[in-house]
């Protein structure tokens, strides 16, 4: 196709995708390969360290940051199916390791190569999925870190617009937090519940068949609330739809 050599991409699947919904990881591999990348999944990855980082446990967060930096050295790009894990690597690691010149430089180098997957596909690879069809209506929630820390907003929408038959519906408060917040949702469960209750109501008011978003944590929160309140909305990660997997089980459906 093009004269440029295919970029080598290291995929960080994230701990939640690894444990709860591996199919998002396979959707990522499929899309990255369709976009012309050579994809590898380094075995030395576990979690980006966000639970420690956001709890103020800087020592453990720094340990995980160094492990992740080392695991992804040498890749042209590092791609994640999560805005919040990507933001931790892009903004959190350089801050966390600022006190150590060598590691700080390596953290900045990783940060410069790290991307949330939908923005990578559009902004770096100029990719649009071809031949995808899905007769459904969907609404999209902008997960906070991706939106505000990385500017992920237009890219997922542009990709979804390439899926034939998919009707996008507006979501009231699409850029308002769903109340997940990592450990926040269990530490301050009643507050988190009040927030996600309003979010679930807005999703239902959209009338869409599907709820799409780019972070599994937020999706589990919203899907779990929708299911508890008896809603029929089916929830997918954006890239599952882009990879043509929306005919498979949604979050909370047995495959």
Partner 1 sequence: MSHATTRAPFKARADAALADRTLKLAIDRTTGTAEAKRAAALSAFPEFEAARARGKAIKDHVIAHLDHYLEEFERNAIASGARVHWAADDAEARAIVTRICLEADARLVTRAKSMLGEEIGLPHALADAGIERVETDLAEHIIQLAGEAPSHIIWPAMHRTREQVADLFRTGHHPPPAAEDPASMVQSARRELRAKFLGADVGISGANFLVADTGATCTVTNEGNAELTTTPPRIHIVTAGIEKLVPSTAHAFALLRLLVRSATGGEMTQYTTFHCGPKRPGDADGPEEMHIVLVDNGRSRMLADEFRAMLRCIRCGACMNHCVVYRQIGGHAYGGTYPGPMGAVLTPVLDGLAAARDLPHACTMNGRCAEVCPVGIPLPTLLRAWRARSWREGREPGAVRAGLSLWARLATRPRLYRLASRIGVRGLRLFGRGGWIARLPLAGGWTAHRDLPRPEGRTFMEQYRAWQARKGAGR
Residue numbers at the binding site for partner 1 (CB under 8 A): 13, 15, 17-23, 25-26, 41, 43-47, 49, 51-58, 60, 63-64, 67, 95, 144-145, 148-149, 175-177, 179-182, 184-196, 220-221, 223-225, 227-228, 249, 251-255
Closest distance of CB 70 from partner 1, Å: 11
**Helices 58-71, 101-113: crossing angle, 10 deg rounding:** 60
Helix, coil or strand: residue 248: coil
Nearer to partner 1, 3 or 44 (CB): 44
Selection from 118, 123, 131, 134 nearest residue 168 by Cα: 134
User: Which residue's CB is nearer to partner 1, number 137 or number 193?
Assistant: 193
Smaller CB separation from partner 1, 95 or 124: 95
Can you tell me the distance from the alpha carbon of 130 to that of 127, in angstroms, rounded to the nearest whole number? Answer: 9
> What does the alpha-carbon distance between residue 212 and residue 214 come to, in Å, rounded to a whole number?
7
Shortest Cβ distance from residue 164 to partner 1 (Å)? 28
Q: How near is the Cβ of 20 to partner 1 at its closest, in Å?
A: 5
Q: How far apart are CA 214 and CA 194, in angstroms?
A: 22
Q: Least distance (Å) from partner 1 to the CB of residue 188?
A: 5
Helix/strand/coil for 45:
coil
CA distances from 97 to 19, 65, 89, 107 (A): 28, 8, 11, 7
CB burial of residue 194 (10 Å; 0-12, 13-18, 19+): exposed
Select 221 or 233, whichever has its Cβ closest to partner 1. 221
Q: How far is the CB of 9 from partner 1 (least distance, A)?
A: 14
Considering the complex, state which of residue 36 and residue 51 has its C-beta at the smaller distance from partner 1.
Answer: 51
C-beta closer to partner 1: residue 35 or 226: 226
Return the SS3 of 138: strand
d(CA 200, CA 107): 37
CB of 4 to partner 1, least distance (A): 25
Closest among 240, 220, 222, 219 to 231, alpha carbons compared: 222
Mapped onto helix, strand or coil, the DSSP state of residue 33 is: helix
The nearest distance, CB 235 to partner 1, in angstroms, is 9
Nearer to partner 1, 208 or 220 (CB): 220
């Amino acid at each position: 196709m093009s004269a440029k050599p295919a970029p080598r991409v290291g995929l960080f699947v994230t701990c939640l995708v690894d444990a709860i919904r591996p199919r998002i990881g396979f959707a990522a591999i499929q899309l990255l390969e369709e976009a012309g990348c050579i994809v590898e999944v380094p075995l030395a990855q576990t979690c980006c360290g966000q639970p420690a980082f956001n709890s103020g446990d800087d020592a453990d967060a720094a340990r995980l940051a160094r492990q992740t930096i080392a695991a992804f050295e040498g890749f042209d790009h590092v791609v994640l199916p999560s805005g919040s894990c990507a933001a931790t690597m892009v903004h959190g690691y350089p801050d966390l390791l600022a006190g150590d010149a060598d590691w700080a430089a390596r953290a900045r180098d990783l940060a410069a190569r790290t991307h949330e997957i939908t923005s990578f596909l559009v902004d770096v690879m100029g990719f649009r999925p071809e031949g995808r069809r899905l007769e459904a209506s969907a609404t999209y929630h902008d997960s906070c870190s991706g939106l505000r820390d990385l500017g992920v907003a237009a890219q997922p929408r542009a990709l979804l617009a390439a899926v034939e038959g998919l009707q996008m519906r507006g979501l009231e408060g699409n850029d308002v937090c769903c109340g997940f917040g990592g450990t926040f949702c269990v530490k301050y469960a009643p507050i988190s519940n009040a927030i996600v209750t309003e979010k679930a109501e807005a999703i239902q008011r959209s009338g869409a068949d599907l709820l799409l978003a780019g972070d599994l944590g937020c999706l589990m929160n919203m899907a779990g609330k929708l299911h508890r309140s008896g809603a029929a909305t089916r929830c997918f990660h954006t890239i599952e739809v882009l990879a043509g997997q929306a005919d498979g089980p949604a979050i909370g459906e047995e495959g």
